[in-house]
Structure 1
Amino acid sequence: MLGSDDADNFNCIQGNTNFQLENHCEFAFTHSITVDNNGDASLRGLLSDQLPLSGQGTIRATNLSTATTEAEQIVDTANHTVSWLIELSSNNAIDNSTVVIQQSVVTHELTTVYQFQLNPFIESVWSLTALLTCFVMVLALPLGIYYASIKREQRINLIRDDDSESE
């Protein structure tokens, strides 16, 4: 359900293969769904696709009070009251006793705002890893190919020298 940790399908804004963010949710005032063979159907709706669904969001601000104000404004502007009108239609008569409607409501509230901090040790490890990887890709790999070609040429020359001495 919406709000659970494994609810990937509720993230409206997701990255695509080009590392661009795309909004996969449909903004509309009317939605429809087809009931499956078991008679079950599930329709989910979001009031805002601007709120973080994973529990944490990021705001860029010059200081903590500005960030808190911006975060409160985002939550306040996304706070709406929505009424849903559910209409069931069928070719056959619908028995009222078989219709069960359940709802789940997930609310957002601002709990804390804190400044993002980097761990210098972890960042140093990542920087060193990037440096070593660049060294291998830029220097070691081409030099290895170069020395391998020199050794190959020396081996070919040695074979030629052996062939010329035998004649």
Structure 2
Amino acid sequence: MKRSLSKNPNMLRTMIGTGLTLIILLSYAVYSNTVDSEYYSYTTTNDHNLMEISQESEDTAQWYYTTYSAITWVNFSVENSAPGSVLTVEAEGTNWSHSPSLGLQEQSYICNEPDSDYSKYLETCEYSRSHSIVLENGSGTLRGRVSLDLPIKGKGYLESDSIINAQDEASDLVQSAKKTITWKIKIEDEGQTASSEGILVESEYSSHELLELEKFKLNPVQETVYSFSALVGCFFLVLVIPLMIFFSAKYRENKNEVLRATIEEE
């Protein structure tokens, strides 16, 4: 290695220059995302609320409830209904999304692009005012998404040129999702409205209110460690692997020289 450097001093300068360039680029990346970031994180509540549903008429499986919040999720669960009956939920005031895979693990689906080109390969949500499921064993849960813009877990991010504009945008996002929606729940059996006797219905929804907004920041120490690890990895790929190949070839060449010398002596 020393002989190679003495014969080719440009190699050492190239190595040092490459290392310094990587350090400068990685340092700037950390700086730009910690000190001069244009991204902001906002936090909302993620309250789970039960709907205190009211029965439309006595002994009929029809209920209703009105919400006024910014909603992301709704769940409608039914027990003790007739096997094969149909649960239908209609939202007066907005369309909402539903897929049988919502809320299920290890299921692939997408809700914000119902008419996408890859809907043939990936399950997409149906976007409508009314959705239905069949209660195979007399029980089941119909899940839906209302606002697709609000963060499901209460943590979201946006890009803005100032914290004042970011605050306004986050507030407008939550306010625009607030709608007056009347949820109508109905269970039908053989095409007729079923009797409500013995049927248990539980409905819940998650609501959101803006709590706080702050400038998005990275941990400088953590990012420096990551950057240094990336730098070491780059040098490993650039230097160590080629050197291993070089020394392996050199060892094989020396071994062949010794073998040829032994044959010539014999």
Band the TM-score falls in, shorter-chain normalisation: 0.7 to 0.9
Describe the shift of the 1:96–1:149 C-alpha distance in structure 2 as closer, same or farther (beyond 3 A). Answer: same
* 2:227 partner SS: helix
Question: Does 50-59 or 95-104 show the bigger shift?
Answer: 95-104
**TM-score, normalization: structure 1?**
0.77
| 247, 251, 266: which one aligns with 1:147 | 247
Residue 44 (structure 1) aligned to one of 143, 146, 167? 143
Structure of higher RCO (CA pairs closer than 8 Å, 6+ residues apart): 2
Change (3 A) 1:96 1:122: same
Report the residue type matching 1:111 in the other structure: L
The SS at the match of 2:222 is helix
Question: How does 1:1-167 map onto structure 2 within 5 Å?
Answer: 12=111, 24-37=124-137, 39-91=138-190, 94-166=194-266
Cα distance in 2 for partners of 1:146, 1:78 equals 64
Could you tell me which runs of 5 or more consecutive residues in structure 1 were left unpaired when the two chains were aligned.
Answer: 14-21
Structure 2: distance between partners of 1:104 and 1:147: 68
Give the 3-state SS of the residue equivalent to 1:80 in structure 2: coil
Deviations 1:99-154 (CA, angstroms, capped at 9, x unpaired): 22211121110000111122221111111011111111222112212221221222
Number of equivalenced pairs: 154
Could you say what secondary structure the match of 1:96 adopts? coil
Unpaired runs of at least 5, structure 2: 1-47, 49-72, 75-102, 113-121
1:131–1:8 Cα change, 3 Å: farther
Question: Percent identity, aligned pairs only?
Answer: 31
Structure whose residues are more often strand by fraction: 2
Q: Which amino acid aligns with 2:257?
A: N
The Cα RMSD (Å) is 2.9
What one-letter code is carried by the residue in structure 2 that aligns with 1:129? S
